[in-house]
Structure 1
Amino acid sequence: MVYDICIIGSGAGAGPIAYELTKEGKKVLILEKGSIYNEKDFSKDEIAFVRRNIITPSLQEQYHTIEEFVDNKWMKFPTYETGWSWWNGNILGGSSNFMSGYFHRLKPKDFRLKSEYGKLEGSNIEDWPITYDDLEKYYTKVEEVVGVSGEVTNYKHHEPRSKKQYAYKPLEEHPITKLFDKACKELNYTSYKVPRAILSQAKDHRNACYYSNFCGSYGCSSGAKGSSRASLLVQALKTGNLIIKSNCFVYKLDSTKTEVTKAYYFTKEGTKKSIQAKLFVVAAQAVETSRLLLNSKNQYFVNGLANSSKQVGKNMIFTGGGIGSAEFDKTNLEYKELFTQGLFVNRALKDWYYTKEFKGGTIDFLFEHANPIRKANLYKKDEQGKLLFGKALQENIYNNFTKKRVLNFEIFTDWTPNDNCFVSVDEKYKDKYGIPVANIRIGAHPQDLKVANFLAQKGKDVLEQMGAKNIKLEMSSLPSSNLQAGGCRFGNNPKTSVLNKYCQSHDLKNLFITDGSFMPTGGSVPHTWTIYANSFRVADYIKTII
């Protein structure tokens, strides 16, 4: 059978394509590397979903190599040696199942950072080939279809909106927000109310949030979280036009000089198979998307499929930043209020998203993760670093679990694209299928850490004003592996970009890439909302050509 559309991957970049094109009557096939899970399969079992990573491959069988700058030279480390997994949820719906759902739009200036601030020395910053106005209606569509709950905060950097409010009312808030709002008012900062891709009321087959306090790293057992699987693919399946094949690892695309002809994949049993389609959409998450194209070289594309520009894998971007933390106890808030479980903080600082001199970023506030094993492990030593045993260990854990709460903040800055942040493949390192793995060189631009440290002080100001104790700041140039973008940036010039403004390959007109790979810059926020919005935009374009 020749399908109308073959989609590789099933996350935020894939879901809108399937959702929109199946409604048009197109026969769509999704090839998903992982298994199919649904609400009844998701639990809050830290051992299963975090400690053992049942939804990601074994690093002994499928891994990455990471290049870091150590002792003035680039050193390569296989992830099976370090345990630093770059797999982010190999199941239907991809990593969107495990996001925390902090949703922030990009702003008009984010689409033209080079024009606004100039090109930093040592950077490869470029303006986008589209504008905020091109995406605005699709951001709104995500609010309605995927489901975004919140209350609009008016502040000096707020982006234009076609709707006055979000599609769903705000989620319930933890009492600590009273302290946060008061501190911001006293400092003349803006308390920004963060919208979440979590339903505050039922929608279709999905239930409202029941405030379990386990969002990040866990699948949602109510369906409230706006994963691609829950919000889009279930609806696409109802059309009868979508077929999903799970446990299918696509390792190569074949092509003529002008179009992709086949996708080759391994089944769970290791059998090689192939499929044909009129149009192919790759949305395998940025690192793996670049890997697939680089491993698909042929006589027409000797440097990798769709890579006449030699830009595939180049200019990877993540999110820069770090974290801050502080402790609160009964002297800050009544015990009953402080230990209210499950409710969201949903507060951020965005007053310094832009400054006159440089692009700033976002500071998101949240309680430390509720994982009990992780928390207990933090208290196995005393203040001098001595390992505790018996009653002393028991009391230390008990006191830290019952007498204080830790409020964190996460900093999101633009990851500045540069020549030392890219994906390549190396024939020396292969997975269990014999396919070269992705090598990720992680080179951060110095500006990213400068901005992170600047923002960290603003976050610290608020914690101090709230009366917090034991404030700690940890800024880093290392990225978060679950926030990936770049590698196949879009642009108007085929010599310097991989995709055109519709995320269509300059080289192969029936190849589209709709995960975060297309982004030239990432904004100072998580990428997911923009990936969703852009994929809906691309879906509208595909309707006109197929």
Structure 2
Amino acid sequence: MKEPYDLVIIGSGAAGGILAKRAVEQGMNVAMLEAGPLRDKNKDFPYHQPFPYEDPYRKPKESVDLSKYLFVKNADEPYTAPQDKPFTWTRARNVGGRTLFWGRRCLRFNEWDFKGRSRDGQGEDWPISYQEIAPYYDLVEQFIGVTGVVENHPDVPDGKFLPPVALKCGDHIIKRACEKMGIRVIYDRRAMLTRAHGGFAKCHFCSACDKGCETDSFFNSAYRVIVPLQKKYPNNFTLISNAMARAINVDDRGLAKSVSYIDKRTGADREITGRAIAVAAGCLESTRLLLLSKSSRFPNGLANSSGQVGKNFIEHLTVGVRGYLTDISFAKPYDGDGIGSTHINIPWFGWDRPKNSFNFVRGYQIELGSAGFRLRLDKDPKGIPGFGADFKREVRRWYGTTMNLKAFAEMLPHPDNFVELDPKVVDKWGLPVLKIQISAHENELAMTKHIYETLEEIFHHAKGVELRKGPYIPGDSIHEMGTCRMGSDPKSSVLNRFQQAHDVKNLFVVDAASFTSGSHKNPTLTIMALAWRTGDYIVEEMKKGNL
């Protein structure tokens, strides 16, 4: 395919995959750069947990080394953070990005999630409304397949759902506990196929999604979008893997003209040209790329006349409580692993409370997790004393009773939370790395106290025992957002309502860096809905000759 391409997309995850789908299907010539390889489904995934005799403590045979695809620390690609404010940055290097590892939870933002400032005076309103994005939520849900139930809950607008999965024992216990507190629980909404859909098989309920899926029954960008595009559109879709973007270059008019990238297999420096450039490398990587793309026209980084690139960094504050549900002790074993973890969600319950019911603004949602065999050491069979019938009885007392309640809370933007280039540290290719600074502030701290009280009360009604609090660990949510936010004013935002740079009309940032606020909902569904909308916009603008 001859250059320039109509569109060059940097990144192949949730945003890049959906954007490519919309552009390619409408006839555009698209090239996609991905910093990692396309993984071999037959070699690069440990499909199931090892058998007990293969457990790491029993010297198992070697499994697949996932650290080369998903990592925090990496000598080739370091990052920095203040010593007193550490940050855990989980990154993926493979086609499909983190969609090969994500939790698959799909919750729509509601109207007030887009208009938070109008409600409480904090942060900024998005330049779009729920009504504008709702049709794209529909399209994405119908494409990827989302299990769920229409529930008419004020926090989470209903969508286009596949059939739900049955609740597990722990789900019923927690649901009854919440009902005693006046808190509504809904069926979980996940990008899982509970029936055959879009040419892909129904989930076979092995509950090992994070180990790979041979039937592609959970949505991921690699095998549900990228590979199908390669097969169906070989003449107008080009995937370039192991390509680490290092700069976006501009022409004399200040328009994006090309991407310089490093071929990681050879170390060669290469360049690719396009009529439009879309950055979809993940919030922090996209931000770093813009900051690295300096020129005489953009001395502080590309599209950064506002000085807002890297500012307004937000994530989800995540804290939890873990304990054991005694009502499950000695329960009869049943085949109910389902779609992994638990099958319910606890949305924010504050919408119908009086205005001053809380000493904080915004809210949180609660996700549930069951650790299955991975018991605490003192409850693990290896740590339980005794033998014979008494030993077996004690094992059965604790096996399968673990429950983890984890809240995802909205974080407000704060001047002290930002990312920037660290001029003192470079990566393997000599490029300055990202320095990340984020911490919880007054509103988040007040919300954290309320979260712990709520989770402990739920456990009380569920007859939970041996509760342990989990602290906020910056980065633990893996939901980075906000560093190139959308807005109507070019002086206080980087992008317009179509994720288009105010300064560079043929440059788009389509991942969660564009978020104006983070809500308390998992961001991936909204990332994909926005990317779908932006893809259609790019196609129309090119037809009009505006790009």
What range describes the TM-score normalised by the shorter chain of this pair?
0.7 to 0.9
1:4 corresponding residue in structure 2: 6
Letter in 1 for 2:287: S
Amino acid at match of 2:18: P
1:95 aligned to 2:98? Answer: yes
Give yes or no for the alignment of 1:473 onto 2:469. yes
Kept in 2: contact 1:318–1:480 (CA 8 A)? no
**Distance in 2 between residues matched to 1:45 and 1:425, nearest whole Å:** 40
The residue aligned with 1:364 is 367
Q: How does 1:255-270 map to 2 (within 5 A)?
A: 255-256=250-251, 257-268=253-264, 269-270=266-267
Q: Is the 8 Å Cα contact of residues 42 and 221 (structure 1) preserved in structure 2?
A: no
Distance, in Å, in 2 between the alignment partners of 1:511 and 1:190 is 43
Q: Which residue of the partner structure matches residue 461 of structure 1? A: 457
Q: What are the Cα deviations for residues 229-286 of structure 1, in whole angstroms up to 9, with x where unaligned? A: 2332233221232111110000111112421111011112211111001110000001
Between the aligned partners of 1:380 and 1:468, the Cα distance in structure 2 is 17
- 2:75 matches 1:60: yes
Which residue is 1:81 aligned to?
A: none
C-alpha distance in 1, partners of 2:443/2:324? 30
- 1:376-404 C-alpha deviation (Å, 9 max, x unpaired): 6x41799xxxx979989xx79x9389634
- Ranges in structure 2 where 5+ consecutive residues have no aligned partner: 50-55, 57-61, 543-547
CA contact (8 A) 1:190 1:350 kept: yes
Range that drifts further, 300-309 or 456-465: 456-465
Output one character per residue of 1:70-119: Cα deviation in whole Å (capped at 9) or x when no partner: 3xxxx7x7xxxxxx752422111111111111111111001111110113
Aligned-residue offset at 1:452: 2.7
What residue in structure 2 maps to residue 80 of structure 1?
none
Change beyond 3 A, Cα 1:167–1:258? same
- Of 209, 222, 233, 2:226 maps to 233
Determine if the alignment matches structure 1 residue 208 to structure 2 residue 206. Answer: no
1:146-168 deviations in Å (ceiling 9; x for gaps): 11111122334343x5xxx6331
Counterparts in 2 of 1:437-452, with a 5 A limit? 437-452=433-448
Matched ranges for 1:21-420 at <5 A:
21-37=23-39, 39-40=41-42, 41-44=44-47, 53-56=67-70, 59-67=74-82, 70=84, 86-119=89-122, 125-159=123-157, 161=158, 166-215=160-209, 217-237=210-230, 238-240=232-234, 241-256=236-251, 257-268=253-264, 269-329=266-326, 331-332=327-328, 335-337=331-333, 340-342=336-338, 344-354=341-351, 356-357=355-356, 358-368=361-371, 375=374, 378-379=376-377, 399=395, 403-420=399-416
- Are the aligned partners of 1:322 and 1:452 in contact in 2 as well (CA < 8 Å)? yes
* Residue range with higher mean Cα deviation, 52-61 or 421-430: 52-61
Residue aligning to 1:486: 482
1: CA distance, partners of 2:455 / 2:379: 27
**Is the CA contact 2:47–2:214 (under 8 Å) kept in the aligned structure 1?**
no
Question: Residues 339 and 461 of structure 1: is their aligned pair in 2 closer, same or farther, counting only changes over 3 Å?
Answer: farther
Q: Which moved more, 1:316-325 or 1:199-208?
A: 199-208
SS at match of 1:469: strand
**Unmatched segments (≥5 aa) in structure 1:** 78-83, 120-124
Letter of the 1:362 partner, please give it.
Q
Equivalent residue letter for 1:490: M
Question: Separation in 2 of the partners of 1:192 and 1:263?
Answer: 45
**Quick one: distance in 1 between partners of 2:396 and 2:6?**
57
- CA drift of 1:52 comes to 5.2
Determine if contact 2:6/2:276 at 8 Å carries over to the other structure: yes
Deviation at 1:226, TM superposition (A): 1.3
- Determine what percentage of the aligned residue pairs are the same residue: 27
Could you list the per-position Cα deviations for residues 279-338 of structure 1 after superposition, in whole angstroms to 9, with x for gaps in the alignment? 100000011111001011011100001111111111111101311111024x44652257
Partner Cα separation in structure 2 for residue 333 and residue 536 of structure 1: 47
Tell me if the contact between 1:448 and 1:477 (Cα under 8 Å) persists in the aligned partners.
no
Residue aligning to 1:424: 420
Could you say if the C-alpha distance between residues 412 and 353 of structure 1 is closer, same or farther in structure 2, counting changes exceeding 3 Å? farther
The one-letter code of the counterpart of 1:244 is L
**Amino acid paired to 1:236:** L
| CA distance in 2: counterparts of 1:479 and 1:450, whole angstroms | 19
Q: Over residues 457-503 of structure 1, what are the superposed CA-to-partner deviations in whole Å (9 max), with x where a residue is unaligned?
A: 22322222122221222242623262111110011111111111100
Which AA in structure 2 matches 1:11? G
Q: 1:291 to 1:186 in 2, by over 3 A?
A: same
For the aligned residue pairs, the C-alpha RMSD in angstroms reads: 2.8
Q: State the TM-score, normalizing by the size of structure 2.
A: 0.87
Give the residue type in structure 2 aligned to 1:67: P
Alpha-carbon contact 1:198-1:224 (below 8 Å) kept? yes
Tell me, in whole angstroms, the C-alpha distance in 2 between the residues paired with 1:353 and 1:53. 40
Q: Contact conserved, 1:314 with 1:487, CA < 8 A, in 2?
A: yes
CA contact (8 A) 1:138 1:537 kept: yes
Output one character per residue of 1:26-60: Cα deviation in whole Å (capped at 9) or x when no partner: 11111000110254342247788897513146611
TM-score, normalisation: structure 1: 0.87
Checking the alignment, whether the CA contact within 8 Å between 2:315 and 2:475 is kept in structure 1 is yes
Distance 1:481 1:326, change over 3 A: closer
Decide whether the 8 Å contact of 1:411 with 1:456 is kept in 2: no
The alpha carbon displacement at 1:353 in A equals 4.7
Task: After superposition, give the CA deviation of every residue in 1:159-193 in whole Å (9 maximum; x if it has no partner).
Answer: 3x5xxx63311134323222233333333321222
Moved more, 126-135 or 459-468: 459-468
**Contact kept? 1:4, 1:28, Cα under 8 Å:** yes
Deviates more, 1:135-144 or 1:466-475: 466-475
- In structure 1, how many angstroms separate the alpha carbons of the residues matched to 2:271 and 2:407? 43
Counterparts in 2 of 1:349 and 1:11: CA distance versus 1, 3 Å? same
**Residues 332 and 540 of structure 1: is their aligned pair in 2 closer, same or farther, counting only changes over 3 Å?**
same
- SS of match in other structure, 1:135: helix
> Matched residues in 1 for 2:229 and 2:177: separation?
46
Shift, 1:449, TM fit = 2.5
**Which letter maps to 2:317?**
G
| 2:494 alignment counterpart | 498
- Contact 2:18 2:528 (C-alpha < 8 Å) held by counterparts: yes
Q: How many Å apart are 1:61 and its aligned residue? A: 1.4
TM superposition shift of 1:361: 1.3
- Aligned equivalents of 2:342, 2:379: Cα separation in 1: 29
Alignment CA distance shift 1:472-1:402 (3 Å) = closer
Secondary structure of 1:415's counterpart equals coil
AA in 2 matched with 1:31? L
Q: Which amino acid aligns with 2:450?
A: F
